[in-house]
Amino acid sequence: MVVEARDRVGGRTLTAPVAGGSVDLGAQWLGPGQERALGLAEELGVELFRQHIEGRKLLEFDGELRTYRGLLPRIPMLALADLGASIQRLERMARKIPLQDPMSAERAAELDAISIAEWIARNVRTEAARTMLRIAIQAIFAIELKSISLLFFLHYTHAGGSFTRLAEVREGAQTFRLKGGAQQLSERLAERLGEELRLRSPVVGIEQGSEGVELRVGAGEGGELLRCRYSILALAPSLVGRIPIAPALPPERRLLGDGMQMGSVIKSVIVYDRPFWREQGFSGEAVSSGAPLRMVFDDCEHDASLAALVAFTVGEDVGPLREGGGLAGRRAAVVEHLVQLFGPEAGEPVDYVDHDWSDDVWSGGGYAGVMPPRLLSQVGDALRAPVGRLHFAGTETATRWCGYLDGAIEAGERAAAEIIARLGEA
Ligand SMILES: Cc1cc2nc3c(=O)[nH]c(=O)nc-3n(C[C@H](O)[C@H](O)[C@H](O)COP(=O)(O)OP(=O)(O)OC[C@H]3O[C@@H](n4cnc5c(N)ncnc54)[C@H](O)[C@@H]3O)c2cc1C
């Protein structure tokens, strides 16, 4: 049985109707190498189309707007060389981190003792290269760099192939979109479950004994107890940490729940009457070191029936945007930044939708959980280790593409295999 707190399936995927079409306010892209997610889409008959990338890209760098076409923007030559060398060094370091067990890497404790922010401060010489790395990493993790352990960063990027692959659209993690939206993956799976899916059923307490597990579902009079032999908690570790569990989980597991922070992201979709940026030779892709938007992409429907841009506000920029006067305030701030990037035509949207994932109690943030310095060294082993009859899934426990849809599928398959292996036991 699947027990789901919300009135819908899909978790951190959320496909919303807008202006006669549909847009993804949660996960949106798949990429080469994500064999599980690509395989699931195929199995479920969800078609893919390529992210639109044709045209010039925009970089807003310390208030100055530049356009470029290739992978790297036009920044001063010395800074470009510094940036390229720093990325190569990070890629080399990442390749040496074992995916199953990052703590078994050489000098693991040392790598875990500092943040990626400290590594950049010590190793990247030019200010422009530091800024470029900062905005790329914020875009990938949706959290400030001081909150990301260097070892965690290296493991996470290796798990997705490489840092470059995570950052890139073309042949990277942002290559494909799903026709009709990413939430369909869960919706179509849910159709197979019938009565074995319970929506609006938050698990508010768990008790396990030698015979089985009792889940307390819902509070107050409507609450009930569900009994089972084994349970998989397919949640981010910080959400597991919020559920009272008896007997108490081991200290490392509790530390994991307290210490692994979710990123912060507001994802906005801005709808226009036509894709004016395409007409002007722009791809719709923009990266900014300013606020509130860190990056923007073309978000038109595959047949261009809906013209839209999708924009991300991440990390510490989320707070000010959230406090800026409700939906109308957020819309005004996002549109103002888009005008700065794409010109006055961006100022005339026909619709606007967004989702603040940090304000969403059943996700607690997004895109995923991130480990600050020294957490992995203390709790690394606890991430996937079952505790009695409780098993742990969720993208954060994956060894490949952790943080992504693909990782969530790997984790689910692994946890299911663990239970299947135990089903013969008493
Ligand atoms: C804005 C955004 C953009 C993203 N973009 C991409 C992308 O382009 N590509 C990509 O691959 N990934 C992307 N991701 C990440 C991706 O969404 C996640 O990796 C993936 O959805 C995680 O799946 P999961 O099953 O591990 O967790 P979740 O999707 O979080 O599922 C956990 C489920 O548990 C439920 N739940 C929570 N607490 C309880 C409780 N107490 N009782 C019962 N049920 C509970 C939740 O409601 C939820 O349905 C993005 C995420 C966000 C937020």
Ligand 1 near 342 CB (within 6 A):
no
- Residue 370 Cα to ligand 1 middle (Å): 14
Nearest CA to ligand 1 atom 49: 11
Ligand 1 near 318 CB (within 6 A):
no
- Residue 219 Cα to ligand 1 middle (Å): 23
Report d(CA 406, CA 159) in Å as an integer: 11
The residues, any chain, with a CB within 8 Å of residue 44's CB and separated by 6 or more, are 184, 185, 188, 189
What is the pTM assigned to this prediction? 0.98
Give residue 426's pLDDT: 52
The residues, any chain, with a CB within 8 Å of residue 164's CB and separated by 6 or more, are 87, 91, 172
Report d(CA 358, CA 262) in Å as an integer: 8
- Residue 264 Cα to ligand 1 middle (Å): 13
- Residue 12 Cα to ligand 1 middle (Å): 3
Structure tokens at 114: 């500092």
In the CATH hierarchy, which top-level class contains the domain 202-260+371-422?
alpha beta
Report d(CA 139, CA 143) in Å as an integer: 8
Centroid of chain to Cα 141: 7
pLDDT in single tens digits along all 426 residues of the chain: 999 999 999 999 999 999 888 999 999 999 999 999 999 999 999 999 999 999 999 999 988 999 998 777 778 899 999 999 999 999 999 999 999 999 999 999 999 999 999 999 999 999 999 999 999 999 999 999 999 999 999 999 999 999 999 999 999 999 999 999 999 999 999 999 999 999 999 999 999 999 999 999 998 887 999 999 999 999 999 999 999 999 999 999 999 999 999 999 999 999 999 999 999 999 999 999 999 999 999 999 998 889 999 999 999 999 999 998 899 999 999 999 999 999 999 999 999 999 999 999 999 999 999 999 999 999 988 999 999 999 999 999 999 999 999 999 999 999 999 999 999 765
DSSP notation for 78-101: HHHHHHHHHHHHHHHHHHTS-SS-
Report d(CA 355, CA 98) in Å as an integer: 35
Give residue 250's pLDDT: 97
Ligand 1 near 11 CB (within 6 A):
yes
Residue with tokens 């036009």: 74
Burial group, residue 198, by CB count within 10 angstroms (0-12, 13-18, 19+): middle
Backbone angles phi, psi at 132, to 5 degrees: -60, -45
Q: Are strands 295-298 and 307-314 parallel, antiparallel or unpaired?
A: antiparallel
Where do the structural domains in the chain lie, given as residue ranges? 79-167, 202-260+371-422
- Residue 82 Cα to ligand 1 middle (Å): 36
Residue burial 268-286, b: 16+ Cβ < 10 Å; e: rest = bbbbbeebbbbeeebbbbb
- Residue 13 Cα to ligand 1 middle (Å): 6
Task: Pinpoint the alpha helices (H) of 105-213.
Answer: 108-112, 116-123, 127-141, 150-159, 163-167, 184-191
Structure tokens at 26: 């949660």
Backbone angles phi, psi at 195, to 5 degrees: -75, -10
Ligand 1 near 15 CB (within 6 A):
no
Atom from ligand 1 closest to the CA of residue 25: 1
Report d(CA 364, CA 362) in Å as an integer: 6
DSSP notation for 367-422: S-EEPPTTHHHHHGGGTT--BTTEEE-SGGG-SSSTTSHHHHHHHHHHHHHHHHHH
User: In DSSP terms, which residues pair with 233 in a beta bridge?
Assistant: 392
Nearest to 308 by CA among 284, 282, 287: 284
Ligand 1 near 232 CB (within 6 A):
no
Nearest to 375 by CA among 389, 359, 396, 360: 396
Residue to substitute in 1, 2, 12 for testing ligand 1 pocket (most ligand atoms within 8 angstroms of CB): 12
Angle, CA 10 vertex, CA 8 and CA 13 arms, to 5°: 125
Report d(CA 24, CA 169) in Å as an integer: 17
Three-state DSSP state, 173: coil
DSSP notation for 268-297: EEEEESS-HHHHTTEEEEEEESSSS-SEEE
Ligand 1 near 87 CB (within 6 A):
no
- Residue 24 Cα to ligand 1 middle (Å): 13
Nearest CA to ligand 1 atom 21: 12
Same fold, 79-167 and 202-260+371-422: no
Ligand 1 near 156 CB (within 6 A):
no
Atom from ligand 1 closest to the CA of residue 202: 42
User: In DSSP terms, which residues pair with 231 in a beta bridge?
Assistant: 390
Ligand 1 near 243 CB (within 6 A):
yes
Residue burial 205-233, b: 16+ Cβ < 10 Å; e: rest = ebebeeeebbbbbbeeeeeeeeeeebbbb
Look up the CATH number of domain 79-167: 1.10.405.10
The residues, any chain, with a CB within 8 Å of residue 361's CB and separated by 6 or more, are none
Report d(CA 182, CA 186) in Å as an integer: 8
User: In DSSP terms, which residues pair with 223 in a beta bridge?
Assistant: none
The residues, any chain, with a CB within 8 Å of residue 101's CB and separated by 6 or more, are 380
Residue to substitute in 201, 242, 312, 405 for testing ligand 1 pocket (most ligand atoms within 8 angstroms of CB): 405
Residue to substitute in 203, 367, 391, 409 for testing ligand 1 pocket (most ligand atoms within 8 angstroms of CB): 367
- Residue 97 Cα to ligand 1 middle (Å): 25
